[in-house]
Structures are given as structure tokens and as C-alpha cells.
Amino acid sequence: MTAFAGAIPIRCGRLTYEVGMNRLSRREFLGVAASIGAVAAFARTGRVFAKSKVIWTERRDLYPEGVSSGDPKPDSVLLWTRRPGADANAVVHLTCEVAEDAKFARIVTTARAKLTAASDFTCRVLVGGLKPAREYWYRFTDDEGGGSRIGRTLTAPADDDTRAVRFAFVSCQNANFGAQNAYRRMIFEDMKAAPEDRLGFVLHLGDFIYELVWYPEERPDYYDRKVRELVRYASGEKHENFHIPTTVDDYRAVYRAYLHDPDLQDARAHFPFVAIWDNHEFSWLGWQSLQVFDGKTSPQQRRKVAANQAWFEYQPARIRKPNAGLEHFDGPKVEDVAIEKFDEHGLGIERNNLAALNSLTGYRALRWGRHVELIITDQRSYRSEDPLGHDEADAFTSKDFPQFVDEPAQRIVDAGRSANDGKPPATIRFGDADVPNFAKDSPAQTILGAQQKAWFLERLKASRATWKIWGNTTGTLDMRADPQNLPADAPRWPGSGYAGFGGGDHGSAYVERGEIYDFVARHDITGFATIAGDRHSFWAGLSAKDLPPRQFTPVGVAFITGSLSAPGIVESLEHKFPKQHPLRALFLADHGGKQEPAINLLLHHGVRTCFEYAKSGDIAKAKALSNRQLSPHVDFVDMGGHGYSVVRASADRFDVEFVCIPRPIERSTTDDGGPLRYRVVHSTTLWKPGELPKLESKVIEGNVDLMT
């Protein structure tokens, strides 16, 4: 590695994320760059600008995955590109220039980087010495003058900056059978926004890739969509009718394929991103380093390291990697060894499992001005096994009630051996059966894992920002229905109370969620806001550990963003739900030749509202039958929405705008990314200790009668 204009890579130990809240010395900065595997470039101080020493000619074909920037701080940001060499032995030297203007007349720093096949020719440059809350432009040029497209980035505001912070949060982009029109819309709106309304960054809450890939000749259609040719895995493995990656080259190939999407690539060149993985960056039903396919769980430590390596190479993020060298990710050598022993938190203590999980640490906190601290957690790497994923949990379902799982049983198995104050029942009653409590000897479910949870709680308590924003890739709001209120002529629900919808996120990890919310209440933490993805649906509501008939006491506000493009449950119901099913009214309403998402009403208002709406089509009359005890935590739910969400956080208000687009089946041909379905803003005013948070909504455009 060579460097000039202040770019001197050095080796350093562990990165402390919190120090970035203050400006770093040059020496500390170089250490940070080394620990996250980036070349360092330090901007000049004062108003002395350099002239460009390269002759840059844009050659996008040489940089097929574009450019990107990530994890901005007040004085620094990470820059990224990929410039493949001619063959596996090639060495590519790039010059990276950073300027205050898009014409590169005011260059603040330049760095040199060496790219090799060891990092799949990806490149990371950490630029420091920048001014807070400023726009910068960057570009890369090879030694023959072949230049990347120009990227735009922004630094974070200084910690004492009192201006409002705006940013978008997104999740779940599928390029195999979806179009990224939401990014086109986001860029369009940002370009025409007033300066104070422009986005500071995009938070990507995971499912940046879907590692499951369908080949069009094997499955031409997926619900409403045509399956597109995306990637062929050189070493892939086939399950059912899809293919999964098994090597780092396979995972790299799927990242490259996604980054060839023009709208995603434009978004990465236009906004800095802050990214964290969800499940699909490793494996659909994966947890720790285990994969689950065809009903079987298998240890895949080598694939977990491969997934981490590809993520590290393709996402510019300030996260720790195993080796201090700057040119590649030198992952641990692990074997796929059966994981048989688990500690008291359900963490597999097999050596290769721990090494694979520790090969990349994604959880971190970042700060934007006085009002925003973003605390991002990893919901997949440290979690215990989902008890509701067990085959035995099927005993709490009924074939007459698609999707429903007995809620009281969900709570008992989540709690494991801690249920009933440490005296878990041997059996759980459901209908006429006494079902053996398969979880009675297991630890209570944890999604964060003990170590990450301790870090998370400490950060929450220590934060001095107005809004402590939990970037949780998965949802936290309960999903439930009230089948106990069905009319006498409907099928009879075997349970005695509410039905949940199974496990997978903090919506049914009751013990851990309660622990976190009790901590928030005990420490008088106000301004606690959770933003999430994963559910392929828009939700706005209040964070509460319990719902009626238990005590309902919210401690924060919570939002889930719809998928950018991956299909959601409504699309699946439209294609699969039987027309003559006696409970069809709970899921879909048939009016005017259209199937409407009655499931939104089910989750928010209950079964009586659904039946009335199916019968009369009168939404006001239907909502008059709302069960107010069912979901007092929900303000808005749309199980069929796609798009993105925008946060605006100021000294006294927290707004989340849902920008919903039509089902993104084909790429929009217009600059605005196509029409909107609706735009709704949910707002809360900062509450004081002892006060309860409240939400109110304002519809800006579109009809959201079935969502509210």
C-alpha cells in the first residue's frame, strides 16, 4: 500500500466506536482506519485546496458495482468502490480524490489504494479531517485514467448541533423478482427538497441481498412477478426449487449482481449508507452459524465466515474485522463441526461457532448532532434457537386457522424454564390436549444474546442524545388476533384467548423485550424510538412489554418499514388463500373484483371488524366493532405496503413518514420512480420521565382506511 497527501496506513488495536463522537487526532484516526481495514486519507485544514493530479475520464464499465460511502461521523466517512483487475493475479492501483465540489476544483484530500483478488478488488478509504454536516464528492481513478462515477456523501453534524436530523430507513430489497423503484423515488424527492429537508443518510436494516436465488427456467413466476436472471452460483447448493451460496465467491457474486441494479447503485452514490445485516445476508432461517433447510439444522461455520467476509468487502461500515491488515479480510479458519453444547443463554459454545460469529461484529452506535443516537443491533448472530420454530410448536396451531399460534403458549415456550417464576408447567393446555412443554428445560429466548444485550442497555443508559433510536433489523410490535371473538357459526378456535403469529422477532420474544423495556422505564429513559424492517409491512405503534388483559404501559415508539421490493404476505395470500375458506374474511375482503388486505383490520381491530367489512364493505361500520383490547399498541399496519420510511428527529418531535409505492414488479421508467400509493406521517412529542409516549398520524396523500 502506498499513500500520499497524508494517507499513511498503520496498524492499531481495537476500535472504540464512541470516540468518534468527538474529533479524533490524526494519529487516532489512522488507528481507526487500520482497525476497520481501510486506507486512511486526512483532509487538509484551512482553505488550501489541491489541484487534481489525475486525468479522470468516467468509465463506469470499469467499476460495474459503482461507488458508495458509509458510516459518516462529524469528521470522517468511509468511501468504497470495486475495480476488478484483468485476472486473479492482477494488482490495481487507484487514486481516490475527495472534494468540496462536484467539479473537483476544491480537493481536500487524495489517497492511494492497492486492490487485489484477496478482497475481490473492493476498496475502502476512510477520509478524516472533514468538516461536520457538509457535502463532499469523491471519485476513484486507475493509473490509466479510467475513472469511477462521482459519488456524493455527507458528514454527520457535530454532537452539539441542534438542527433536526433527517434520514431514511429501508430493508428487504429483492432483485431476483423486484424493482428498486423506492430508491428512485427517494433520490427524486431528495434532489428537490429544501436544504434542511434533505436526508443525512440511509439506514439499511438488512436483507440487502437475498441469498436464496431462483433460476428463471426452474421457476418462471413468483406470485405477481417474473423471476429475473440474477446470478448463477459456481458452488451453489439446491434446496426445493432455489439455490443458495456455499463459498465466499458465491456470496460475492450475489452482492455484485445486486449492485448492478441501477437504482440501488444510484442510491449508494447519492447518500451515505449505514448498513447492518439481517438473516438473508447469511441464510434464510439461519441463527448463529447454523442453517436450516429441508427441516434439518446443520452447522455451517465456514459459510458464516464466508458471508461475513463478503458483507465486509461490499459494505463500507466501521466494524471490526479479524486481521489488522488493510487489503483483505483474513477470516478465521473454521470447520463445520456439530454444535452440541449451549451456554445458559443458548449460545453454542463450540469453538468454530464462536470463531465464526466473532469474525465480524456488526453492532455499533453512531451519533448525529444533539438529537440522534442510532444504536444498531444484530438479531441473527447471537440469538438462541427460536422455540416457536420447533416442530413441537405445531401443536399450538389449528388447521382451520392459517397462521395462528396460541398466544398463551407462545409466552410459555418463549420463557422456557423461567416461565411461571421458574416453575414452568410440564404441559400446556390447547383445546382438548395437554401438550408437553418442550421448552421447560431451555433458557428464555434471547435474540440479542447476553453480551450484545449488556452493551445495548449500557449504550441506551449512557446516551445523552434527545432520541435514542434502536435500529433493530426485526420488528418489536406484537402481532395478534382475537379468534375467541368469532361468531358461533365460524370454526371454533381451540385456544382460550388471543392468537399470535409465531416467532422470529421481538414481537414474540416476550421475556427479553420485557427486560429491555423495564430497563428503559427503570432508568427514566425518554425519547426511546425503535425502527425496524424484516416484516415486509409498515407498522407504527407504541413499545409495550404487555397487552391487555395484562397491564399496557408504553415506554417508547416503534416503527417497521415496508420492504423495498421483496414480496409480502398480502401478495402471497392473494395467490394462495382459498376462495371458499370459512375464515377468508379475516385475511382478504373481496369487493369490486379486488382482493383487499383485510389482514390489516384483523391485526388492528379484530375478527368482528373483518366480518362486517367483508359483508358490507362499509369501513366505518366495520371499525365501530373494533376490539379496543386487541392492539392498543398499534396505530397503523399495512401488511401489503412497499417503499421506505423517513425519520425527522428534533429537540421535541420525532416524525416517521411512510412513503408507500405500488407493488414494484417492473422498473419505473420515470424520474420520480413512479406514483405513490400513500404518504403518512406519524409523530410523537418528546415525553418526560413518568409520562407515556403518544402517537398521532396525518395522511398526506392516498387512502389508508384499511391501515388505520
What 3-state DSSP class applies to 455? helix
What 3-state DSSP class applies to 395? helix
The interface with Fe ion within residues 616-635 (CB under 5 A) comprises none
Closest approach, Cβ 230 to Fe ion, in A, equals 16
What 3-state DSSP class applies to 138? strand
With contacts defined by CB under 5 A, name the span among 68-76, 171-179, 446-454, 640-648 that binds Fe ion.
171-179
Q: Between 407-415 and 510-522, two packed helices, what is the crossing angle to 10 degrees? A: 80
Query: Which residue from 65, 207, 263, 478 is in contact with Fe ion, where contact means CB under 5 A?
Result: 207
Closest approach, Cβ 81 to Fe ion, in A, equals 27
Closest approach, Cβ 678 to Fe ion, in A, equals 21
Taking the least distance from each CB to Fe ion, the nearer of 31 and 567 is 567
Taking the least distance from each CB to Fe ion, the nearer of 159 and 207 is 207
With contacts defined by CB under 5 A, name the span among 202-210, 216-224, 484-492, 581-589 that binds Fe ion.
202-210
Taking the least distance from each CB to Fe ion, the nearer of 108 and 172 is 172
Closest approach, Cβ 279 to Fe ion, in A, equals 8
Q: Running DSSP on this structure, what letter comes out for residue 702?
A: S
Closest approach, Cβ 534 to Fe ion, in A, equals 6
Closest approach, Cβ 174 to Fe ion, in A, equals 8
The interface with Fe ion within residues 553-572 (CB under 5 A) comprises 566
Taking the least distance from each CB to Fe ion, the nearer of 280 and 480 is 280
* Residue 172 φ/ψ region, left for φ over 0, alpha for ψ in the -120 to 50 degree band, beta for the rest: left
Taking the least distance from each CB to Fe ion, the nearer of 207 and 281 is 207
With contacts defined by CB under 5 A, name the span among 30-38, 95-103, 181-189, 200-208 that binds Fe ion.
200-208
Neighbouring CB atoms inside 10 A of 26's CB total 13
Contact call for residues 79 and 269 (beta carbons, < 8 A): no
**Of 245, 235, 247, whose CA–CA distance to 209 is shortest?**
245
- If binding is defined by CB under 5 A, does position 211 make contact with Fe ion? no
Taking the least distance from each CB to Fe ion, the nearer of 40 and 560 is 560
With contacts defined by CB under 5 A, name the span among 18-26, 150-158, 167-175, 597-605 that binds Fe ion.
167-175
Taking the least distance from each CB to Fe ion, the nearer of 157 and 475 is 475
- Which DSSP string corresponds to 543-577? E-S--TTS-----EEEEEPPBSSS--HHHHHHHHS
Contact call for residues 479 and 384 (beta carbons, < 8 A): no
With contacts defined by CB under 5 A, name the span among 60-68, 168-176, 405-413, 466-474 that binds Fe ion.
168-176
Contacts 24+ apart (CB under 8 A), 188-196: 188/671, 188/672, 188/673, 189/659, 190/270, 190/271, 196/163, 196/164
Q: Running DSSP on this structure, what letter comes out for residue 47?
A: T
What is the end-to-end Cα distance of the chain in Å, rounded? 57
What is the Cα–Cα distance from 369 to 375, expressed in whole angstroms? Answer: 14
Contact call for residues 74 and 165 (beta carbons, < 8 A): no
What 3-state DSSP class applies to 674? coil
**Of 170, 167, 171, whose CA–CA distance to 201 is shortest?**
167
Taking the least distance from each CB to Fe ion, the nearer of 208 and 517 is 208
Binding mask 455-474 for Fe ion (x = CB under 5 A): --------------------
Taking the least distance from each CB to Fe ion, the nearer of 533 and 556 is 533
The interface with Fe ion within residues 520-559 (CB under 5 A) comprises none
What are the residue ranges of helices labelled H in 238-278?
A: 248-259, 262-270
Neighbouring CB atoms inside 10 A of 608's CB total 18
Q: Running DSSP on this structure, what letter comes out for residue 361?
A: B
What 3-state DSSP class applies to 304? helix
Taking the least distance from each CB to Fe ion, the nearer of 125 and 264 is 264
Taking the least distance from each CB to Fe ion, the nearer of 115 and 209 is 209
Taking the least distance from each CB to Fe ion, the nearer of 263 and 534 is 534
Closest approach, Cβ 529 to Fe ion, in A, equals 21
* Residue 133 φ/ψ region, left for φ over 0, alpha for ψ in the -120 to 50 degree band, beta for the rest: left
Find the largest Cα–Cα distance for the chain: 81
Closest approach, Cβ 171 to Fe ion, in A, equals 6
With contacts defined by CB under 5 A, name the span among 172-180, 214-222, 284-292, 320-328 that binds Fe ion.
172-180
Q: Running DSSP on this structure, what letter comes out for residue 360?
A: -
Question: b/e string for 130-161 if b means 16 or more Cβ within 10 A?
Answer: bebbeebbbbbbbeeebbbbbbebbbbbbbeb
Query: Which residue from 39, 125, 127, 172 is in contact with Fe ion, where contact means CB under 5 A?
Result: 172
**Of 508, 506, 504, whose CA–CA distance to 453 is shortest?**
506
Closest approach, Cβ 173 to Fe ion, in A, equals 9
**The one-letter amino acid at 272:** P
Contact call for residues 557 and 684 (beta carbons, < 8 A): yes
Closest approach, Cβ 225 to Fe ion, in A, equals 15
Closest approach, Cβ 210 to Fe ion, in A, equals 7
* Residue 185 vs residues 24, 204, 208, 531, 670: alpha-carbon distances, Å: 36, 16, 18, 21, 9
Size of the residue set binding Fe ion (CB under 5 A): 3
With contacts defined by CB under 5 A, name the span among 33-41, 55-63, 170-178, 400-408 that binds Fe ion.
170-178
Closest approach, Cβ 320 to Fe ion, in A, equals 26
With contacts defined by CB under 5 A, name the span among 203-211, 299-307, 400-408, 639-647 that binds Fe ion.
203-211
What are 652's three cell numbers?
421535541
Closest approach, Cβ 172 to Fe ion, in A, equals 3
What is the Cα–Cα distance from 264 to 260, expressed in whole angstroms? Answer: 8
**The one-letter amino acid at 254:** V
Taking the least distance from each CB to Fe ion, the nearer of 401 and 658 is 658
Taking the least distance from each CB to Fe ion, the nearer of 203 and 607 is 203
Closest approach, Cβ 208 to Fe ion, in A, equals 10
Closest approach, Cβ 135 to Fe ion, in A, equals 31
Query: Can you name the residues that pair with 39 across neighbouring β-strands?
Result: 125
Closest approach, Cβ 207 to Fe ion, in A, equals 4
* Residue 369 φ/ψ region, left for φ over 0, alpha for ψ in the -120 to 50 degree band, beta for the rest: left
Taking the least distance from each CB to Fe ion, the nearer of 156 and 172 is 172
The interface with Fe ion within residues 297-326 (CB under 5 A) comprises none
Closest approach, Cβ 566 to Fe ion, in A, equals 5
What are 336's three cell numbers?
463445520
Q: Running DSSP on this structure, what letter comes out for residue 491?
A: P
Residues that bind Fe ion (CB under 5 A): 172, 207, 566
